[in-house]
Structure 1
Amino acid sequence: MRPLTFSPWLRRGLIPLLVLGLLAGGVVWLRRPKPVAVVTVEVGRGQVESSIANTRAGTVEACQRTRLSTVMGGRIELLNVKEGDRVRKGQLLMKLWNDDQQAQQTLATAQRETARKRVVEACTAADASAREAKRQSALREQGFVSVSREEAARAEADTRRAACQTAQADVASAQARIGATQVEQGRMHLYAPFDGRIARIVGEVGEYSTPSPPGVPTPPAIDLIDDSCLYIKAPMDEVDAPRIQPGQPVRITIDALPGKTFPGRVKRVAPIVSAVEKQARTVDIDVSFDQPDKTGPLLVGYSADVEVVLATRKEVLRVPAAALGEGGRVLVVEGDMLVERRIRAGLSNWEHTEVLDGLKGGERVVTSLEREGVKAGARVTVEASASPAAKP
């Protein structure tokens, strides 16, 4: 067979075409998309919780707190405590000037003593008159005195007996007046209704203390709290309220104690919705501490957050929440390419989502979805990777 030969002019034409082809291939190679660096996490098993959190900061509250004011206004004569003091139930905290009431009590006491002496006088005379009436009755039966004489003696005895009873009633009346003055004095005193600590005092000795009538925002004279029992009051969105029940576990975090989490329980769900101006409608819940002795000293008024755990599933297939896109889509690394998958999700929270279908353990999903160029079909290089064991 004769060898294939090209004419000189054809050879001269093929060489430029070959060069152009190589140049075009090189341009395409150089202009191809560069691999995108991504962060991935291996799909593994672990615990997933469904939870909800408060919409605004909650507050540390005391189980018992009372804002005390005297029933009547007056000048402060005695202030027996200062802010921060611990007090016992029944301890006198504050006293207003009441010399006039004390004078009234002294007068009522003197009147009672006078009435008691009149009782002795009147009742002694009544006893004597009764004996005289009895003697006159015996003499009439013997015929020594007339019937009218006997009747006069009996009338005198009845009068003396009535005078004795009136004197006894005067004693009771005087005693009642003493009780009334004591009640009036009680309006000028403040006593601790329970053991606690003085949080705030409004007023000093010599200043005028004003009571707090309903509807008038007058500050109380003494704010008393029982800081031996504390709880958290937190507002929850009204949409989440039907899912919250007393007894559900919660996690409590306090801004003043960063890095610490305290277990607790839902103690009460408010029966009404709170409507705060220009804010969402919320339902207040009360949360108690499971281990109050381990919280350390807390101040009433600290801001706090609560996370109510609605459901918990252990050892389930899960992916980080950062790997989940809209509509339950995830990007899986296969070789050096990204492939889109749609999963069927179960429980979820801010950290993890349970995978019911669509992924297998050991596959790697992308968590850096916010980076430019991260999409299905993109070539990638793994910049960082984490295993499930590195996740809580």
Structure 2
Amino acid sequence: MKSFTRRATPLWLFLSFLVCFGCAQKSTPRAKSSSGVVAFQVRSRPVLEGAITEYFRYAGRLRSAELLVVQPEVPGRIKRLLREVGDRVREGDLLLELESTTIEAQRNQAKALMEIGKAAWEDSEKNWKRSEALYRSQGVSETEREKTSLQRESSLRQYEQSQAAFRAAEYALSQTKVRAPFAGKITLKSCEEGEYFLPGAKPEGVYTLERDDRIFVDVDVPSTDSPLIEKGASVEVESSSGWLAGKVISKGERADPLSSSFPVRAVVDNPKGWLKPGSVAGMKVHYRGREKTLVVPLSALSEGDTLFVKEGNTVHERKVTVGLRNPEWVEILKGLKVGERAVVEGNFGLYEGALVEEIQ
């Protein structure tokens, strides 16, 4: 047993040495400089003059700016359905067509009755004018005059009724072809060709058309944030291909009784369809900002509002006065100049006058 212990001891010492050596190598932030002196490895960025805003971050619910249930306003059998789910349409594109034979016959009949009514009214108008002339010359009696006047009024009413019937038939015929009222995307198809459609029988209509080139973004804002958010405030919404700009268009005045949050809605242009209605996206709501001010990455700032300025191969600790800040940038009101280089990476453990080397 003793001989086993003596043989194992060097092995354990060797393994312990490897572990300690590996940890020491991993934690050191230093490397030899070109002169052979050990230096801190850092990354620095120039102090810039630019704009900065403070913002809140939320998860926004996306919905189409406009959604329409597409359906004809007259009953009929569906002759053709020209679009499928996922199709994009332009304003005025034909979406569906109903069988129109019966409606065309009704329209032709209404037109014929209107023409008959027009002829009857024109005849009664002539008779009335003749009767009026004869009455003035005492050629007809008062009774005959009133009779022709009543006939004229009756034929006029019948003609007007036939005109209304013809217009209704024309409108019904126009409804057998339904076109897209705006450009968008077909997101639901609820009927098939050959099916008889009765308006009101299907709440989902024939198609659902959504306009997705503009997106509403709804978010519930905590009561602590609400006073800082105003209508017209700029927003950014995150998509798979970048951030899209928009603005707040409404803010509720009453808080939800359960969550104490206020509803806020923004609108964002979505010309390339990057944002998908029905999904959730990250959202920034900007509430305060400043133009033309000194800014540095927030990672440059250390505790006590200090940072390190790189001058050549050394760094100097600098006390600064900060202003606005967000998760990425911080405004420097005092203590830095444009063009100076602030250390933004590798600043942990630095000290005044430390030797540094820029990370390439």
Q: Shorter-chain TM-score category?
A: 0.5 to 0.7
TM-score scaled by length of structure 2: 0.59
Q: Secondary structure at the match of 1:203?
A: coil
Contact 2:95/2:178 (CA < 8 Å) preserved in 1?
yes
| Contiguous gaps of at least 5 residues in structure 1 | 1-33, 138-149, 334-339
- Aligned partner (choices 265, 270, 279) of residue 284 of structure 1: 265
The number of equivalent residue pairs is 306
- Aligned partner (choices 94, 107, 116) of residue 96 of structure 2: 94
The one-letter code sitting in structure 2 at the alignment partner of 1:202 is S
| Residue pairs, 1:204-223, within 5 angstroms | 204-209=192-197, 218-223=203-208
Contact 2:231/2:249 (CA < 8 Å) preserved in 1?
yes
Q: Secondary structure at the match of 2:58?
A: coil
Contact 1:330/1:366 (CA < 8 Å) preserved in 2?
no
Distance 1:307 1:118, change over 3 A: closer
- Aligned partner (choices 169, 175, 182) of residue 163 of structure 2: 175
1:130 CA displacement: 6.4
Contact 2:308/2:347 (CA < 8 Å) preserved in 1?
no
Q: 1:271: which partner in 2?
A: 251
Contact 1:54/1:235 (CA < 8 Å) preserved in 2?
no
Q: 1:316: which partner in 2?
A: 294
Distance 1:301 1:211, change over 3 A: farther
- Aligned partner (choices 156, 164, 181) of residue 144 of structure 2: 156
Structure with bigger strand share is 2
Distance 1:123 1:343, change over 3 A: closer
1:283 CA displacement: 1.7
Contact 1:60/1:300 (CA < 8 Å) preserved in 2?
no
Q: Secondary structure at the match of 1:70?
A: coil
1:254 CA displacement: 1.9
Q: 1:235: which partner in 2?
A: 219
1:126 CA displacement: 5.5
Root-mean-square deviation (Å): 5.2
1:345 CA displacement: 3.7
Q: Distance in 2 between matches of 1:183 and 1:342?
A: 77
Distance 1:185 1:300, change over 3 A: farther
Q: Is 1:351 matched with 2:328? A: yes
Q: Distance in 2 between matches of 1:73 and 1:278?
A: 46
Q: Distance in 2 between matches of 1:101 and 1:156?
A: 43
Distance 1:60 1:117, change over 3 A: closer
Q: Distance in 1 between matches of 2:296 and 2:131?
A: 105
Q: Distance in 1 between matches of 2:126 and 2:343?
A: 110
Q: 2:181: which partner in 1?
A: 193
Tell me which structure has the larger Cα radius of gyration.
1
Q: 2:276: which partner in 1?
A: 301
The one-letter code sitting in structure 1 at the alignment partner of 2:252 is I
Q: Secondary structure at the match of 1:321?
A: helix
Q: Deviations over 1:91-110 (max 9, x none)?
A: 54334456655554444333
Q: 1:7: which partner in 2?
A: none
Q: Distance in 2 between matches of 1:385 and 1:237?
A: 45
1:159 CA displacement: 2.1
1:134 CA displacement: 7.4
Q: Distance in 2 between matches of 1:154 and 1:279?
A: 81
Distance 1:95 1:359, change over 3 A: closer
Contact 1:44/1:317 (CA < 8 Å) preserved in 2?
no
Q: Secondary structure at the match of 1:111?
A: helix
Q: Distance in 1 between matches of 2:239 and 2:61?
A: 9
| Contiguous gaps of at least 5 residues in structure 2 | 1-23, 30-40, 310-316
Distance 1:44 1:37, change over 3 A: farther
Contact 1:66/1:224 (CA < 8 Å) preserved in 2?
yes
